[in-house]
């Protein structure tokens, strides 16, 4: 194997796949990237942790074909140290060693045989379905904040998001046991049967990263599901993910319920007030109290030994008064990812979840369990 490639193009390709490499693990091969030539103008790069795999490509001038596994972190570090715009020459030598040349300098890097690298799944291209890129990115952004990194069995919360696709809609749901998020997007597809799968948290994070870094394009993401695997094709990049085989709670009754207290709030003003008041919270719950009256929302908190804070924001509301407690962090999480100027907050009573959504749609719903108010709380 021998090829020449732009340092910038090579580094871009390595950065696409090296996030999934396992730097310290029981299988040394998982800390490596597989580099494989294709024809005379292309190389492919692969990285995997056995649960998640990414395949990317880079343009190169290939002089002879071949493949080799190289340490992901070291390869990335080498390329970052090279001058931008420099030309890199790579040649496979004996005993899985490669020579990397740049200008008059060179280094030798020990690798592993390509045969040791875990094989990637295969799929039929014609079975992939097109999903609008913007819709998929928006769904992952708004759902990921409620998907736990580790499964919360005692709360019935898997470490993944439920994805359902039919001919006309795509829905995604995530919950950590304390919060639930739901989003729906329109589609126009021809499907023989409904798709219902659970995507792991890590896969969602990597998919969002790839969508963020991909060049702006109106081309759809091509998606496929087979056996216990999913594939997402973003241009020339392919992400493979093992699907979770676990239970996802039935959230449909909660999603369908509409609370009776509907409050319209300016998002940025609400966000700033909650952020300021949350400074005076303590513990993991970051407990704040919301007091709702006609056209006024009072937000306050107290931390013994530190002090207390209170702020008021103008709202549009003409219902019964209500006092309710929430985790300030949960509120800020959703306010930080929304871009609407106005939001709707739905509430019912002190013991029922609050909902944050867009003023003109229920296609995105964010539910938060309240925190019990104590009679001894004084603000």
pLDDT at 368 over 80: yes
pLDDT digits (tens, 9 = 90+) for 197-229: 999 999 999 999 999 998 877 899 999 999 899
pLDDT digits (tens, 9 = 90+) for 34-81: 999 988 899 999 999 999 999 999 999 999 999 999 999 999 999 999
pLDDT digits (tens, 9 = 90+) for 76-101: 999 999 999 999 999 999 999 999 99
Residues 6 or more apart whose Cβ sits within 8 Å of residue 268? 341
Distance CA(351)–CA(348), nearest Å, equals: 8
pLDDT digits (tens, 9 = 90+) for 284-307: 778 899 999 999 999 999 887 789
pLDDT at 24 over 90: no
- Please indicate whether the domains covering 2-116 and 128-251 agree at the CATH topology level: yes
Query: Which of 52, 115, 56 lies closest to 241, judged by CA?
Result: 52
HEC string of the chain equals: CEEEEEHHHHHHHHHHHHHHCCCCCCCHHHHEEEEEEECCCEEEEEEECCCEEEEEEEECEEEECCEEEEEHHHHHHHHHHCCCCCEEEEEECHHHEEEEEECCEEEEEECECHHHCCCCCCCCHHHCEEECHHHHHHHHHHHHHHCCCCCEHHHCECCEEEEEECCCEEEEEEECCCEEEEEEEECCCCCCCCEEEEEEHHHHHHHHHHHHHCCCCCCCEEEEEECCEEEEEECCEEEEEECCCCCCCCCHHHHHCCCCEEEEEEHHHHHHHHHHHHCCCCCCCCEEEEEEECCEEEEEEEECCCEEEEEEEEEECCCCCEEEEEEHHHHHHHHHHCCCCEEEEEECCCCCCEEEECCCCCCEEEEECCECCCCCCCC
- pLDDT, residue 283, reads 72
pLDDT at 237 over 90: yes
pLDDT digits (tens, 9 = 90+) for 106-143: 999 999 999 999 999 999 998 999 999 999 999 999 99
Yes or no: domain 128-251 corresponds to CATH 3.30.70.100: no
- pLDDT, residue 96, reads 95
- What is 257-368's CATH superfamily? DNA Polymerase III, subunit A, domain 2 (3.10.150.10)
100: phi then psi, degrees, rounded to nearest 5: -110, 115
pLDDT at 377 over 60: no
Distance CA(333)–CA(366), nearest Å, equals: 10
- pLDDT, residue 379, reads 33
pLDDT digits (tens, 9 = 90+) for 162-187: 999 999 999 999 999 999 999 999 99
Q: Can you give the residue ranges of every domain in the chain?
A: 2-116, 128-251, 257-368
pLDDT confidence tier of residue 154, bands split at 50, 70 and 90? low
pLDDT at 153 over 80: no
Architecture of the 2-116 domain: Roll (3.10)
- pLDDT, residue 104, reads 87
């Amino acid at each position: 194997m021998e090829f020449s490639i732009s340092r910038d193009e090579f580094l871009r390709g390595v950065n696409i796949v090296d996030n999934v490499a396992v730097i310290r693990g029981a299988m040394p091969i998982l800390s490596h990237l597989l580099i494989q030539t294709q024809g005379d103008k292309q190389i492919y790069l692969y990285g995997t942790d056995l649960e998640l795999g990414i395949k990317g490509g880079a343009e190169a001038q290939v002089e002879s074909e071949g493949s080799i596994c190289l340490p992901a972190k070291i390869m990335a570090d080498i390329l970052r140290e090279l001058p931008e715009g420099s030309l890199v020459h790579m040649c496979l030598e004996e005993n899985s060693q490669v020579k990397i040349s740049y200008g008059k300098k060179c280094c030798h890097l020990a690798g592993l045989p390509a045969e040791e690298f875990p094989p990637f799944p295969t799929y039929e291209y014609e079975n992939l379905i097109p999903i609008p890129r913007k819709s998929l990115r928006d769904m992952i952004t708004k759902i990921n904040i409620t998907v736990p990194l580790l499964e919360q069995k005692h709360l019935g919360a898997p470490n993944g998001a439920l994805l359902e696709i039919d001919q006309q809609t795509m829905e995604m749901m995530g919950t950590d046991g304390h919060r639930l998020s739901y989003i729906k997007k329109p589609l126009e597809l021809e499907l023989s049967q409904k798709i219902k799968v659970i995507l792991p948290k890590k896969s969602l994070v990597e998919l969002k990263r790839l969508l963020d870094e991909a060049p702006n394009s109106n081309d759809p993401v091509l998606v496929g599901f087979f056996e216990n695997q999913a594939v997402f094709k973003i241009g020339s990049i392919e992400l493979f993910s093992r699907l979770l085989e676990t239970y996802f709670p039935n959230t449909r009754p909660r999603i369908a319920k509409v609370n009776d207290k509907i409050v319209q709030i300016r998002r940025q003003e609400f966000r700033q007030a909650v952020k300021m008041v949350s400074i005076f919270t303590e513990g993991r719950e970051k407990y704040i109290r919301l007091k709702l009256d006609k056209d006024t929302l009072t937000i306050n908190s107290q931390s013994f030994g530190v002090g207390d804070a209170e702020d008021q924001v103008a709202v549009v509301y003409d219902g019964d008064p209500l006092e309710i407690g929430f985790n300030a962090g949960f509120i800020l999480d959703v306010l930080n990812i929304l871009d609407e100027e106005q939001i709707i907050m739905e509430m019912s009573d002190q013991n029922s979840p609050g909902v944050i959504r867009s003023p003109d749609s229920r296609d995105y719903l964010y539910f938060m369990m309240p925190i019990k108010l104590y009679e001894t709380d004084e603000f």
